[in-house]
Structure 1
Amino acid sequence: MTGHPPAEFALHVVHEPPSLYVRVSGELDYDTGDDLVAAVTGILSDDAEPLDEVRLDFGTLTHIDASGLAALLLVHRRAGARGAALYLDNRPDVLERMLHVTNVLDHLTGPAETAFGSDEDREDGEVTGTGSSV
């Protein structure tokens, strides 16, 4: 079997309060998920400067498995406990598929902020209220 060697996992962390930026490269899986959680949690645990947002950049992510997804869920939980919003930036197809198949994208990121996706735009097409059946 002639396969490509797995891409080397790497994290590039930039802490500029009130934001934390983490570029995740390579494979986010069983062997590397704890590294991501530890890097983010270490900064979130620092009471010196509160964070408003945690931005994870996946532009160079090559693979994610269920353990990597579990790491994202844990990062989300810990960021939320500190009052910080989580953003998943530059999502490659492999991450998009995982988020959609598992139906956790909205849970992890909350309302999407896109050119069309402000809350006001979405409300125009929503059916709300009690209504009645005829």
Structure 2
Amino acid sequence: MTHLPPVPFTVVPDRAADTLTVRVSGELDYDTSGDLLDAVVPLLSEEAGLRDVRLDFSGLTWIDSSGLSALLMVHRHTSEARAVLHLDHRPGFLERMLHLTDVLDFLTEPGAPAGAALADGRSDEVTEAGAT
């Protein structure tokens, strides 16, 4: 059986007007999820005026729970920056994970910034200990 070497993980940000597009290739997992955050978060804090953040997953080859956690953190930061997160060109395995974990709508719907009060008075803020 022939084993092909894994596709190297890359994130390539591209800013055009009020949209940041980040092309994600390779495996988004425990070892690489920090790289995604490092590519997106500084641009959100440094670059004012972003309305949309588009993550292009056409080159994604795998995602694990750490990668999903990174997507949730990206959403938190985009919400704080009042930008809308888009998950473009989702491969089947990512689509299944997003549906099984029931987070697709949460990640892609424009809404209140992270930490805002929910309808029942609780906060949706995530802490290091987990969701509050």
TM-score by length of 1: 0.78
Q: Structure 1, residues 84-127: CA drift from partner, whole Å, max 9, x if none?
A: 0000000001110110111100000017xxxxxxxxxxxxxxxx
Q: What residue ranges of structure 2 are gaps of 5+ in the alignment?
A: 111-132
**Quick check: 1:90 aligned with 2:95?**
no
Aligned length: 110
Instruction: Note the C-alpha offset of 1:2.
Output: 4.5
Aligned residue number for residue 61 of structure 2: 62
Query: What secondary structure, in the 3-state scheme, does the structure 1 residue paired with 2:85 have?
Result: strand
Aligned residue number for residue 3 of structure 2: 3
Aligned residue number for residue 80 of structure 2: 81
Which ranges of 4 or more aligned residues in structure 1 deviate by more than 3 Å? none
Counterparts of residues 1-134 of structure 1 (less than 5 Å): 2-47=2-47, 49-110=48-109
Amino acid at match of 2:67: G
Instruction: Note the C-alpha offset of 1:12.
Output: 1.2
Amino acid at match of 2:21: Y
Larger radius of gyration: 1
Q: What residue ranges of structure 1 are gaps of 5+ in the alignment?
A: 112-134
Query: What secondary structure, in the 3-state scheme, does the structure 1 residue paired with 2:46 have?
Result: coil
TM-score by length of 2: 0.79
Instruction: Note the C-alpha offset of 1:17.
Output: 2.7
Aligned residue number for residue 117 of structure 1: none
Instruction: Note the C-alpha offset of 1:23.
Output: 0.4
